[in-house]
Structure 1
Amino acid sequence: MALSAKHHRMTDVPAGPVTLSDRRTQRGWTVDLAPFRLAAFPVTEELYAEVTGGRTTGPAPRGGLPVTGVSWLEAIRFCNAFSVRAGATPVYTLDGEDVTYDRSADGYRLPTEAEWEHACRAGTTGPHYGTLDAIAWYRDNSGERVHPVGGKQPNAWGLYDMLGNAWDWCWDLYDPQVYGSYRVLRGGGWFDEHWSLRASARRRSHPSFQVDDVGFRVARSA
């Protein structure tokens, strides 16, 4: 089995409610989610290169590492290319930096922020789904570098690296009234302190920015 094939396994995530919060507005709200599927691992450098024919960082794909330095727009394009490769209908239509989301399409996509947090928690209610050193690469144990996916314990639903190693892009706008087109990042990365690695922690970045601790994983509607 090719390494990239091993690492694009999809996991069934059950329906359920999740409560989100916004620090600026001090607002909380609950989202009722339908079942969906989420990749057990972040997209690796190998898989990204296989699907797109290109690279975002470095001279060649490196053994099992999550692809990083990939913008939100590049992640969107990957999802469409991966959908076509799988014989599925692409979810996104791009017009420059304007992206339209077809919720009836059956292809690969980025998780919504609510889906990401629901999947990360896997039925837990605390900041982490396990002991942090056992489940995540972060500043205290990473050696200040990214690590191959799947090296830490998964959560109860079989999802790896939901916290630590590399942040995940989500579909949602972060706070359009203040930050315009900036998109949500979740999960924390290899250089972050422990307080950034929480199921509820949020970060933001411009959809065209490439950051060395940011990657993504794919979702698919059930």
Structure 2
Amino acid sequence: MDTGTQQQDRMIVVPPGRVALSDRRTHRSWTVELTAYRLAAHPVTRDLYTRVTGRPADAGRDRLPAEGVSWWDAVHFCNALSLREGLTPVYDVRADGEDTGEAVTWDAAADGYRLPTEAEWEQACRAGTDGPRYGPLDDIAWYRENSGDRIHEVGGRLPNAWGLHDMLGNVWEWCWDLYDPEVYGTYRVLRGGGWFDEHWSCRASVRRRSHPTFRVDDVGFRLARTAD
């Protein structure tokens, strides 16, 4: 990783473990075993997104999360950053399939950047805690009651015990997983809550879904890598 990327997106090693997931809509619960992985200390910033993609950014706002980013945008960004850093891209994307959700595959042997799975995201968010949040909400998250109806720079609230900032609030974060393919087809999972959300959406277990082409001003993403 070059110096600029390292400064913008420090990666933290998350230990192996087991995480219990649940969905309130279906009343389903399941457990996932995880090996160690790396997760960025905060969401991808506008500065890093601009440097990799060339998308213009507002002057003086480079420490804000990159938002208005679709799931497909995030996948392409991960591959582009991997190539930039001399790593093997994780995702194999077929050029004609961005509406099907079947046009991308994950190379588990690749060492490049990727989106976290939702199990990885929840384990990292909880950081060893078992409550709905890893701290008092006003201390750890930008949400409707304290955000002033706007997005904020990354790292402005307290991190969790593992040094991860903005796991709750500020922007929702895309995960790799399909939400419920039998019911919602290609819709992907979003986690974490955003700056415009009420407190009940900013909890470690909350799942949201959206089409992978969806772009809106409270959705971003965070980088993951499989641990060496």
TM-score, normalised relative to structure 1:
0.95
Counterparts of 1:38-49 in structure 2 under 5 Å? 38-49=39-50
1:174 aligns with 2:189: no
Given candidates 190, 198, 203, the residue that maps to 2:195 is 190
Q: Which residue of 2 aligns with 1:157?
A: 162
Distance in structure 2 (CA, Å) of the matches to 1:134 and 1:203: 23
CA RMSD of aligned residues (A): 1.5
Q: Which residue of 2 aligns with 1:146?
A: 151
Number of residue pairs aligned between Structure 1 and Structure 2:
220
Q: Secondary structure at the match of 2:169?
A: coil
Query: 1:40–1:159: 8 Å Cα contact kept in structure 2?
Result: yes
Q: Which residue of 2 aligns with 1:84?
A: 83
Amino acid at match of 1:52: T
Tell me the alpha carbon deviations over residues 184-215 of structure 1, each in whole angstroms, 9 at most, x when there is no partner: 00000000000000000011110011011000
Moved more, 20-29 or 35-44: 20-29
Structure 1 residues not aligned, in runs of 5+? none
For residue 4 of structure 1, report the CA deviation from its aligned partner: 5.6
Distance in structure 1 (CA, Å) of the matches to 2:33 and 2:92: 26
Q: Which residue of 1 aligns with 2:14?
A: 13
Amino acid at match of 1:65: L
Tell me the alpha carbon deviations over residues 139-163 of structure 1, each in whole angstroms, 9 at most, x when there is no partner: 0000000000000000000000000
Given candidates 215, 223, 226, the residue that maps to 1:210 is 215
For residue 53 of structure 1, report the CA deviation from its aligned partner: 1.5
Distance in structure 2 (CA, Å) of the matches to 1:86 and 1:40: 18
1:69 aligns with 2:68: yes
Distance in structure 2 (CA, Å) of the matches to 1:169 and 1:61: 25
Q: 1:89 to 1:17 in 2, by over 3 A?
A: same
Q: Which residue of 2 aligns with 1:37?
A: 38
TM-score, normalised relative to structure 2:
0.93
Q: Secondary structure at the match of 2:214?
A: coil
Distance in structure 2 (CA, Å) of the matches to 1:37 and 1:43: 14
Distance in structure 1 (CA, Å) of the matches to 2:195 and 2:220: 12
For residue 177 of structure 1, report the CA deviation from its aligned partner: 1.0
Distance in structure 2 (CA, Å) of the matches to 1:204 and 1:99: 18
After superposing on structure 2, the runs of 4+ consecutive aligned residues of structure 1 that deviate more than 6 Å are none
Q: Secondary structure at the match of 2:31?
A: strand
Structure 2 residues not aligned, in runs of 5+? none
